[in-house]
């Protein structure tokens, strides 16, 4: 593993530098390259992340020293938090002077990790470098960092302290890193941007080698000229390759890429998970894992005037809504200039943890998935965990209706933390759940249903799909034939299905059979660039046949378990990036790349 090599060579600084230099230029791509490493929906690499459900974001940096206020020379006061240098137009040299006194002497990793544990948060993501470019570790790349530009104890390293404490207390450690940088002059200058990128890669190598993060959470992926941000989608793609080679177990967010000017939406092909911010979707995101990040007050970084803290009921219900839709909740704290988590934030987190640890209510979050068997109810949220449905009831009533999306039986029902009887009966388009007693909590009372739905057909013995790859974008010319285990490709800018197929102007036709394990209405989802059509049992289920940028399309079809249905997928790439993924889901099947065992080439 390259990371191991880098670690071993750390003791040999010259060789380590040589390896780092080689890594930076090693061509990871070219015709025949598929940049996909696995299916984040099901891979062992992302398993801990999918089960975690709840993490702590920490926005802590030089900006914390200003406590959210900048007093101008004319006496006026400008307020912001982690954006204060930019929004208040603080001259760089003045900002440098102001943060020289930064001294987070009371930063206590044990207390920070203890607060995360008390909240029930299973991972931490701390800002290692925000947009102001200030590194929170003793980077060798420059002097703009907590070791070389502060009044902090030069023997201390807060990232190491936090990493060691997270390891000791058994929670995962992650790092936020902004590709956009207001301080490094090369970061805003297209002509010298390559120097900044080299420094960025060297810093990221330091972070991987010295702190072994489980998550790298990138930020700063928007098009702007304040200051200019020359980062490109291609830079993001190359960096993702580099990082995955350097640390194969890394989980990476989608903001490693770059959004086109004026584009608000982020793509589902970058990194491993999407990052809705200060909000969350009403249903699982098609095509990618996702994590909602949110603040407790208004701002991410500490601001002494920012005292409108969300209450713990709202925050807990946010968590339940998010995890019932297949997402994670990354909830932020903004330590003050001494490194202390504001008491109101710690108090809300403890309250969330108390609710999660009471009556086994954590089962609504940890390892929970979107409940495909029922529709999202108005009175609360429903998550599924194996053969259990967890009904988190916000609006308690002694009769709660659930719309069934597929038939299932309820073999047991109980209210967590109460001995009250619960009866369940078929009713209209679903079931009525009738708890006989009072609610157990003002936040959410949890009813656990043990359900028996259709038993899966035995796992398939498929080998994948037969495929012809054509050297044109219209399925003409002499094809290259093979069998693909799945349809899960990110050819990106320079990759292609085979070394003899150019990166642009190629097409593919997969054929064979697909075998569902349940008698369900299946949703087939494609992630494609440039165009795709999917036929199943002769029915055109997905038709995205006009050339497009990265796009998600889907269609449904009712299938009987165990039967083999003919499937044909036609795909074409014209120019630029190329992606093609075939995903399925059903009331009994969580969203995933259609697995090899359920695909037959003949």
The footprint of ligand FHN (CB under 6 A) covers: 82-83, 219, 277, 293, 300
- Helix (H) / strand (E) element for 409: namely strand 408-415
C-alpha span between 8 and 175 (Å, rounded): 22
Nearer of residues 48 and 83 to ligand FHN, judged by Cβ: 83
Instruction: Spell out the SS3 assignment of 219-232.
Output: ECCCCCECCECCCC
Say whether 198 sits in a helix, a strand or coil. helix
CB atoms inside a 10 Å sphere around CB 421 = 12
Please state the closest distance from residue 15 (CB atom) to ligand FHN, in A. 36
Nearer of residues 125 and 204 to ligand FHN, judged by Cβ: 125
Nearer of residues 255 and 581 to ligand FHN, judged by Cβ: 255
Nearer of residues 184 and 219 to ligand FHN, judged by Cβ: 219
CB atoms inside a 10 Å sphere around CB 404 = 17
Please state the closest distance from residue 379 (CB atom) to ligand FHN, in A. 31
Nearer of residues 35 and 131 to ligand FHN, judged by Cβ: 131
Nearer of residues 96 and 277 to ligand FHN, judged by Cβ: 277
Please state the closest distance from residue 348 (CB atom) to ligand FHN, in A. 18
Identify which of 19, 10, 34 has the alpha carbon closest to the alpha carbon of residue 501. 34
Nearer of residues 83 and 305 to ligand FHN, judged by Cβ: 83
The four Cα atoms 348, 352, 358, 363 give a dihedral, to 10 degrees, of: -170
Please state the closest distance from residue 293 (CB atom) to ligand FHN, in A. 5
User: Are 483 and 464 within 8 A, CB to CB?
Assistant: yes
Please state the closest distance from residue 301 (CB atom) to ligand FHN, in A. 7
Please state the closest distance from residue 367 (CB atom) to ligand FHN, in A. 25
* 528: phi then psi, degrees, rounded to nearest 5: -140, 150
User: Are 146 and 130 within 8 A, CB to CB?
Assistant: no
Please state the closest distance from residue 219 (CB atom) to ligand FHN, in A. 5
Please state the closest distance from residue 272 (CB atom) to ligand FHN, in A. 16
Please state the closest distance from residue 278 (CB atom) to ligand FHN, in A. 8
C-alpha span between 320 and 577 (Å, rounded): 37
Nearer of residues 63 and 309 to ligand FHN, judged by Cβ: 63
Please state the closest distance from residue 7 (CB atom) to ligand FHN, in A. 29
Please identify the residue of the shown chain whose CB is closest to the bound ligand FHN: 300
The DSSP secondary structure of 57-100, one letter per residue, reads EE--SGGGGGTTEEE-TTS-EEE-STTHHHHTT--HHHHHHHHT
Please state the closest distance from residue 300 (CB atom) to ligand FHN, in A. 4
Nearer of residues 277 and 537 to ligand FHN, judged by Cβ: 277
Residue 173, token pair as written in the block: 């450690």
List b or e across 338-363, with b for residues whose CB sees 16 or more CB atoms inside 10 angstroms: ebbbbeebbebbebbbbbbeebebbb
Backbone conformation region of residue 163, classed left if phi is above 0, alpha if psi is from -120 to 50, else beta? alpha
Identify which of 464, 19, 45 has the alpha carbon closest to the alpha carbon of residue 249. 45
C-alpha span between 200 and 181 (Å, rounded): 10
C-alpha span between 527 and 269 (Å, rounded): 8
C-alpha span between 225 and 500 (Å, rounded): 41
Burial class (CB in 10 A: 0-12, 13-18, 19+), 427: middle
Please state the closest distance from residue 548 (CB atom) to ligand FHN, in A. 26
Nearer of residues 152 and 300 to ligand FHN, judged by Cβ: 300
Say whether 50 sits in a helix, a strand or coil. helix
Nearer of residues 128 and 519 to ligand FHN, judged by Cβ: 128
Nearer of residues 144 and 518 to ligand FHN, judged by Cβ: 144
With tokens 């899960």, the residue in question is 488
C-alpha span between 542 and 167 (Å, rounded): 46
């Amino acid at each position: 593993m390259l990371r191991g090599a880098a670690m071993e060579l750390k003791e040999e600084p010259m060789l380590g530098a040589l390896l780092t230099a080689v890594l930076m230029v090693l061509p990871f791509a070219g015709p025949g390259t598929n940049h996909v490493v696995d299916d984040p929906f099901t891979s062992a690499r992302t398993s801990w992340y999918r089960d975690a459900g709840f993490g702590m974001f920490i926005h802590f940096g030089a900006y914390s020293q200003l406590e959210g206020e900048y007093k101008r020379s004319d006496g006026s006061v400008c307020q912001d938090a982690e954006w204060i240098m930019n929004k208040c137009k603080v001259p760089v040299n003045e900002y440098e002077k102001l943060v020289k006194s930064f001294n987070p002497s009371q930063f206590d990793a044990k207390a920070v990790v203890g607060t995360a544990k008390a909240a029930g948060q299973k991972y931490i993501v701390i800002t290692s470098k925000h947009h102001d470019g200030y590194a929170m570790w003793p980077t060798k790349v420059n002097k703009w960092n907590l070791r070389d530009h502060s009044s902090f104890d030069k023997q201390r390293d807060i990232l190491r302290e936090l990493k060691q404490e997270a390891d000791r207390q058994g929670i995962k450690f992650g790092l936020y890193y902004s590709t956009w940088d207001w301080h490094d002059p090369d970061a805003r200058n297209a002509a010298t941007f390559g120097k900044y990128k080299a420094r960025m890669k060297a810093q990221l190598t330091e972070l991987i080698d010295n702190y072994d993060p489980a998550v790298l959470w990138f930020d700063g992926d928007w098009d702007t000229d304040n200051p200019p941000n020359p980062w490109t989608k291609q830079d993001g793609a190359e960096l993702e390759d580099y990082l995955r080679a350097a640390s194969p177990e890394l989980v990476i967010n989608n903001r490693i890429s770059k959004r086109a000017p004026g584009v608000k939406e982020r793509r589902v092909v970058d990194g491993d998970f999407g990052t809705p911010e200060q909000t969350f979707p009403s249903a699982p995101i098609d095509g990618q894992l996702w994590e909602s990040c949110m603040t407790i007050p208004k701002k991410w970084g500490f601001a002494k005037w920012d005292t409108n803290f969300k209450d713990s009921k709202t925050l807990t219900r946010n968590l339940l809504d998010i995890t019932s839709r297949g997402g994670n909740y990354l909830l932020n704290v903004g330590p003050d200039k001494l490194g202390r988590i504001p008491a109101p934030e710690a108090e809300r987190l403890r309250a969330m943890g108390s609710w999660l640890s009471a009556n086994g209510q954590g089962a609504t979050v940890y390892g929970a998935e979107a409940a495909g068997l029922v529709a999202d109810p108005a009175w609360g949220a429903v998550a599924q965990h194996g053969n259990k449905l967890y009904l988190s009831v916000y609006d308690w009533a002694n009769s709660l209706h659930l719309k069934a999306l597929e038939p299932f039986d309820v073999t047991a029902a109980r209210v967590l933390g109460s001995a009250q009887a619960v009866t369940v009966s078929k009713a209209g388009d679903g079931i009525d759940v009738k708890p006989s007693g009072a609610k157990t909590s003002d936040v959410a009372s949890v009813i656990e249903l043990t359900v028996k739905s259709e038993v899966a057909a035995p796992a398939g013995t498929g080998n994948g799909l037969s495929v012809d790859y054509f050297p044109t974008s219209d399925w003409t010319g002499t094809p290259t034939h093979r069998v693909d285990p799945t349809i899960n490709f990110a050819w990106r800018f320079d990759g292609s299905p085979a070394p003899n197929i150019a990166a642009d102007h190629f097409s593919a036709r997969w054929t064979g059979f697909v075998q569902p394990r349940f008698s369900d209405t299946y949703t087939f989802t494609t992630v494609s660039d440039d165009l795709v059509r999917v036929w199943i049992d002769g029915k055109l289920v997905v038709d995205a046949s006009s050339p497009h940028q990265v796009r998600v399309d889907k269609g449904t079809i009712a299938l009987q378990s165990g039967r083999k249905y003919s499937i044909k997928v036609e795909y074409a790439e014209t120019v630029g990036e190329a992606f093609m993924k075939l995903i399925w889901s059903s009331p009994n099947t969580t969203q995933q790349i259609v697995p090899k065992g359920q695909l037959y080439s003949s």
